[in-house]
Amino acid sequence: MELLASSNSTVPVPKPPGDAIDSLYPAIVQCFTIILLGYVTGRAGWITSTHAKGLNTFTSKFALPALLFKSMATLNWDQVNVN
């Protein structure tokens, strides 16, 4: 549970539980949209197996590690739940 500081007092106010899902929902929709687009392009023949291997290599060796590094470098550690 993430706590928010109230402006009137020093007692933390619990953050509503729906906020976590509301911020996660767009990311889930984006992931499934990309998966669906990959499936459609593969079934339509727009991407061959050679292209798919190249995209897989690019993603696993360059794009994903770069994204993880950027995410960890810009992470606000105060918001990480340590419980």
Q: Could you read off the pLDDT tens digit of each residue along the chain, which spans 83 residues?
A: 455 555 555 665 566 656 667 778 888 899 899 999 989 998 999 999 999 999 999 999 999 999 999 988 888 877 777 66
CA distances from 41 to 60, 66, 76 (A): 20, 25, 37
Residue 36, in any domain of the structure: yes
Residue 9, in any domain of the structure: no
CA distances from 47 to 28, 32, 38, 43, 56 (A): 24, 19, 9, 8, 12
In contact, 5 and 12? CB cutoff 8 Å = yes
Instruction: Please give the model's pTM, rounded to 2 decimal places.
Output: 0.53
The pLDDT tens digits for 43-52 are 999 999 999 9
Residue 53, in any domain of the structure: yes
Domain membership of residue 35 as a residue range? 17-73
Residue 32, in any domain of the structure: yes
Residue 6, in any domain of the structure: no
Residue 12, in any domain of the structure: no
Residue 81, in any domain of the structure: no
Q: What's the structural domain count of the chain?
A: 1
Please tell me the predicted confidence (pLDDT) of residue 82.
Answer: 66
Burial 13-43 (b: 16+ CB within 10 A, else e): eeeeeeeeeeeeeeeeeeeeeeeeeeeeeee
